[in-house]
Structure 1
Amino acid sequence: MRNSVFISCLFVVMFHYSCAQNIENQASKAENIPFSAELLIDEMQIPWGMAFLPDGGILVAEKSGELLHFSNEKRTTILNTPKVYVRGQGGLMDIELHPDYKNNGWIYISYASSEGEGKGGHTALMRAKLKDNKLINNELLYKAGPNTTKGQHFGSRIEFDNNGYLFLSIGERGARDENPQDITRDGGKIYRFNDDGSIPKDNPFVGAKGAKTAIYSYGHRNPQGLVKHPETGEIWDHEHGPRGGDEINIIKKGANYGWPVVTYGINYSGTEITNKTEMKGMEPPIHYWVPSIAPSGMTFVTSDKYGADWKGSLLVGSLAFQYLERLELNGKKVTSREKLMDGMGRVRDVKEGPDGLIYVAVEGKGVYKLVPKK
C-alpha cells in the first residue's frame, strides 16, 4: 500500500513537472539586462507594500508594523498606524492610494489585526489620511474573522479597478478544508468594496443566505499579488500554491478558483492533495509554476523606459528563489520567462512608479530602483 501511494505521488509530481516545464515555465537568466539596480531605501527587514505619493514621496509598509515615508533621501516614520498582530506571515501588509488621492487624500492599508472574536488575528482593511507625518481619520473598513493563532496565509493585496471599486485579497489562513470553498466564511477569497468600505449592491453573493457579501471570488489559497491590467481593466491575481501550483488568475465575478479541490501542487510532505487539476465550474489559471517560486508582488510594465521588449510584460517577485521574474505575454498567455536580480534576496513587492520606473522591495535590503541603461 505504501509503495502504491508513493508511486502515485511520484507520478503526480512528474506529471505536473513535465506539463509545466515548457517555454511558459522556463525562467532563464537575462543576458542583456536593460537596467542597473540602485538601492534607494536601505536597512529594511520585510518591506511588504509600497505606494507612490503625488509629491514624489514613497510610503513603504514594514511587516513589523512601521510605516515609512521616504522623500528627498529623507526617511520619516509615520505615527498613529494601526495596531498590528505580527505572527508568521501576518503583520502590516499592503498599502494603496485612492485613485482620486489628490482630491480626497485616502490611503488604504491591509494588516493582521487581533480585533474581534477569538485569540490570534485575521486580515483587516482600513483607510486613513496623512497629515504632518501622522495618520488621521482612521477608519476600519473590514475585519475578517474569526481570529486564529495560525501564522499562515493572511494574503494580502489591495487594488482599485477602473470603476473605483476596491479589491482585497485574503488567504485561507491555513484552513484549506473549511474556508476557501465556503462563502459563509472569510479566507481564501477576493473581496470587492465601494471605496468607503460598503458592499456594492451587485456583488455576486448579496442576498445569498449566510454569505459574506463582500466576496467577489473564492477558492483561493494565498493571494499575494493583485494588479489591474492597464489595457483591459481586469483584475489579475497570483497566489501561492503548496509544493508546486502557484497560479496567475484573472478574477471574475462569482467565480470559483478551485482550491483545494483542484491544484497543480502537492503537499509539502510529497503526498497528493487531489488528482484533479481542472473541474467543470472552476476557473483554471492562465499560468502556473511547478516548482513553486513563492510569488509576491506583481506589476505590469506600461512605460517605454526599458525598451520595447519589456513593455506589456508582467513582473513578479519570487520569495523562494530570490529573484524578480519577467513574464512576456501574448494576450492572456505567458510565452516566456526571464530571471532578473538573481540572488539579490527575497523579492516581496514590485511596482511601476508614476515616473515609469520599476521599484523592487527586497527583504533584508530595502527598496531598489531599476535605473535604465542608456
Structure 2
Amino acid sequence: MRACQIKYWTENPSMRMRNTGLHSFTVAIAAASLMTGASTLAQPRYGAVGDLYQEVCSACHGAALEGTALGTPLVGAELVGGDSTEALQNSIRVGNPEAEMPAYDGVLEPDQIQSLAIFILEQRQGYTYDHYGVRAQIGIPGGVQNSEHHDFVLEPLIEDLAPLPYSIAPLPDGRLLLTEKKRGLSFISADGHQSEVVPGTPRVYGDSTIPDGPRALDRGLGWMHEAALHPEFEENGWIYLYYGDRCEGCNEVSRERNAPVSMTRIYRGRIRDGAWIDEATIWRSAYEHYTPGTDLSLGGRIAFDDDGHVYFSVGAKNGFYDLGIQDLSTPWGKIHRVSEDGSIPPDNPFVGVEGAIESIWTLGHRVPQGLSYDPATDRLWSTEHGARGGDEINLIEGGRNYGWPLVTSGVHYDGSSIVDLFEVEFDWGEMQPPVVDLIPSPALTAIVVYRGDAFPGWDGDLIAGSLKANSLFRFSIGEDGTVERETLVDGIGRIRDVAVDSQGRLLLLIEHASGGKILRLGPPQGG
C-alpha cells in the first residue's frame, strides 16, 4: 500500500492560472464549434510526447527508457530524484551536474517538461496510449489474493457477455440487472445465466464505428448506460435507466450533417411479468443540445440520496472535450440533480439564474465516470477522467465548479497544455480541488463507498475500477487529507462497473474485445 498527501492544484508550478475574479464566462470559440459538432482546434496527436522524449532523452536514457552507458534506466529502477510528477519535473528542469545531465529550464517550455514527466510515469506504471486495455492480455488470478486488510478470492459469475457491458445492479432476489451499451437491459440469474433483452425498454443502436489503430474504441450513438434501482425498489419497483437518446433531423446540426445526434435521457419504469412498463421520462435535454459526439463520453451514471433526489452525470459529449463545460446553458460537463419524478428541486443552486439549465448541480467536469452516494456520511463521490494525467476523485457539493478545462494537473494527449488553450478569466477561489488527483491516468471508472460485512477493514473506503489500468483500487481518505491507495487486483480487464451484493462481496463488470464478464470478489472459503 502507498500513502500519499493530497496535492492541491495550487502546489503545481506548471499550472499557470488567471485569477481575476469573474464568476461566469463562456469560451469564445464555443458557438461556432458546437454548430459543426467538431472543434476548430487541432485534434491532439498521441505520439507527440513520445517523439519529444526520443529527441531529448533517448540518447542517454534509451529509446525504451531502459538506460544506456550515459544514463540510468527510467523504468524498472528507483529514480534518484524521486518518482512523483513534481520530482520528475524538477529533475528535468535543474538537471544533475554530477551525472552530467543538463538542465532543461529555459530550453523546454514548462508544458513540455510537464508532459515528459507524465510520459515517464506512464511508462513506469504501464499506462500507455498504445492501447486502452481493450485487447490486453487478461486473466483471473487463482487462489487466495492478499491485500493490506483482507485476503480474498476472485471467481467468474458469467464470462460470455457482449464486449461492451456497462452496469450491474444487484436485485433483492439474488439476480442482477445488466445493461450492455449496444444490446440493452437483461437479467443475470444467481447461477450466471443471461436472459433475453427485457421487451419494451428503449431502443439501442449497434451501428458504432471503430477507428483503425491500436487505440480503437467503439464510438456510437444511442447506447444504454446505467440501470439503477430506486432506494425503495422493494416497495415501489422503480428502475431508472440512463440512455443516449438518438434522433435524426431533430436539430440543425443533424439536418446539416444528415446524420444522427444524441444526448442523455433518463427514464424510469418497472418490470412486470418480464416486460418494461410504466415508462416515464425523468429528464431530457432540449434537442438543440443533442450532438454527433460519441456516447463514449457521456459518463452515464445515476445515484440517489436519502432526500428523494436523483443525480446523474453528463460528460463532455460535445465533439471536443473543452467546449461549453463552463457554460450553464449547456448540459454537458455537469452533474445534474432532479427530484424522483423529474421535477426541479427549488433549492438547486442555479434555479432562477438567467439562461441556466436548472437541473445543474455542479459544473466543470470532463467525463465523470463514477457516481456513488454514501448514506452513512451523506456524501456524494465521483470519479472523473482527465486527459493525459489528472484523473480525479471528487467530493460533489452543490453549486461548486470542479475546474475543467481551466484547472487540471494533466496535459492534452499530445502533451500540450490544456489550461493555456483558453485566455479566460476566472475566480480561482470558486474552483473545487479534487480529493484525489492521479498522475498518470489509470482511467478511473465506477466507484462505490464500501459498507458491506464481508470486508470490515474496508468500511468507508472508496473502491474504484479502472479502464486503461485494468485494475481495481482501494482508497482510504484520512481526516488529515492523506490518501492511502492500494491496488487490490490488476490485469483482469477494463472494469466498467463495481457493485456490492447483499453479502458484502464485490461484483466487477469487465469489458474486453473477447467478451465481457462478471467477476465476484469475496472472502476465502471459511475465512
Q: TM-score surpassing 0.5?
A: yes
Counterpart for residue 80 of structure 1: 200
Q: 2:303 aligns with which of 159, 168, 190?
A: 159
CA distance in 1, matches of 2:187, 2:480: 36
Q: Which structure 1 residue ranges, 5 or more long, are not aligned?
A: 21-29
Q: 1:320 aligns with which of 440, 447, 468?
A: 468
Percentage of identical aligned residues: 35
Counterpart for residue 141 of structure 1: 282
Inter-CA distance 318–72: structure 2 relative to 1 (3 Å threshold) = closer
Counterpart for residue 368 of structure 1: 519
CA distance in 1, matches of 2:453, 2:409: 35
Counterpart for residue 237 of structure 1: 382
- The range that moved more, 211-220 or 80-89, is 80-89
User: What SS does the aligned partner of 1:253 have?
Assistant: coil
Inter-CA distance 66–334: structure 2 relative to 1 (3 Å threshold) = farther
CA distance in 1, matches of 2:480, 2:509: 26
User: What SS does the aligned partner of 1:114 have?
Assistant: strand
Counterpart for residue 325 of structure 2: 180
- The range that moved more, 359-368 or 267-276, is 267-276
Q: 2:438 aligns with which of 277, 289, 297?
A: 289
Q: Is the 8 A contact 1:297 1:317 kept in 2?
A: yes
Q: Deviations over 1:319-353 (max 9, x none)?
A: 00111111122148452222233111111010112
Q: Which amino acid aligns with 1:154?
A: L
Q: 1:68 aligns with which of 160, 170, 186?
A: 186
Inter-CA distance 331–46: structure 2 relative to 1 (3 Å threshold) = farther
Q: Which structure 2 residue ranges, 5 or more long, are not aligned?
A: 1-51, 53-103, 123-144, 209-218, 255-259
CA distance in 2, matches of 1:350, 1:95: 13
In the superposition, the TM-score normalised over structure 1's length comes to 0.90
Q: 1:228 aligns with which of 348, 356, 373?
A: 373
Q: Is the 8 A contact 1:262 1:279 kept in 2?
A: no
Inter-CA distance 269–171: structure 2 relative to 1 (3 Å threshold) = same
CA distance in 2, matches of 1:260, 1:229: 28
- The correspondence of residues 1-374 of structure 1 with structure 2, limited to 5 A, is 6-13=108-115, 31-32=146-147, 34-44=151-161, 45-73=163-191, 74-77=193-196, 78-85=198-205, 87=208, 88=219, 91-115=223-247, 116-117=250-251, 118=254, 119-144=260-285, 145=287, 146-151=289-294, 152-173=296-317, 174-274=319-419, 279-308=428-457, 310-331=458-479, 333=481, 335-363=483-511, 364-373=515-524, 374=527
User: What SS does the aligned partner of 2:499 have?
Assistant: strand
In terms of fraction of residues, the more strand-rich structure is: 1
User: What SS does the aligned partner of 1:103 have?
Assistant: helix
Q: Deviations over 1:242-290 (max 9, x none)?
A: 11101111111111111001111111011111269x9221101111111
CA distance in 2, matches of 1:114, 1:240: 24
Q: Deviations over 1:130-170 (max 9, x none)?
A: 01221111112222352222224111100001212000000
Measured after TM superposition, the shift of residue 175 of structure 1 is 3.5
Measured after TM superposition, the shift of residue 10 of structure 1 is 2.6
CA distance in 1, matches of 2:304, 2:224: 19
Q: Is the 8 A contact 1:219 1:256 kept in 2?
A: yes
User: What SS does the aligned partner of 2:490 have?
Assistant: coil
Measured after TM superposition, the shift of residue 14 of structure 1 is 5.9
Q: Deviations over 1:284-318 (max 9, x none)?
A: 1111111001111111111231242x222211111
Q: Is the 8 A contact 1:301 1:313 kept in 2?
A: yes
CA distance in 1, matches of 2:336, 2:498: 22
CA distance in 2, matches of 1:5, 1:210: 46
CA distance in 2, matches of 1:230, 1:18: 40
Q: Is the 8 A contact 1:287 1:334 kept in 2?
A: no
Q: Is the 8 A contact 1:300 1:352 kept in 2?
A: no
In terms of fraction of residues, the more helix-rich structure is: 2
Measured after TM superposition, the shift of residue 17 of structure 1 is 8.7
CA distance in 2, matches of 1:103, 1:315: 28
Q: Is the 8 A contact 1:39 1:368 kept in 2?
A: yes
How many matched pairs?
363
What CA RMSD, in Å, does the superposition of the two structures yield over aligned residues?
2.6
Counterpart for residue 23 of structure 1: none
- The range that moved more, 351-360 or 184-193, is 351-360
Q: Is the 8 A contact 1:299 1:351 kept in 2?
A: yes
- Larger Rg over CA atoms: 2
CA distance in 2, matches of 1:206, 1:180: 18
User: What SS does the aligned partner of 1:156 have?
Assistant: strand
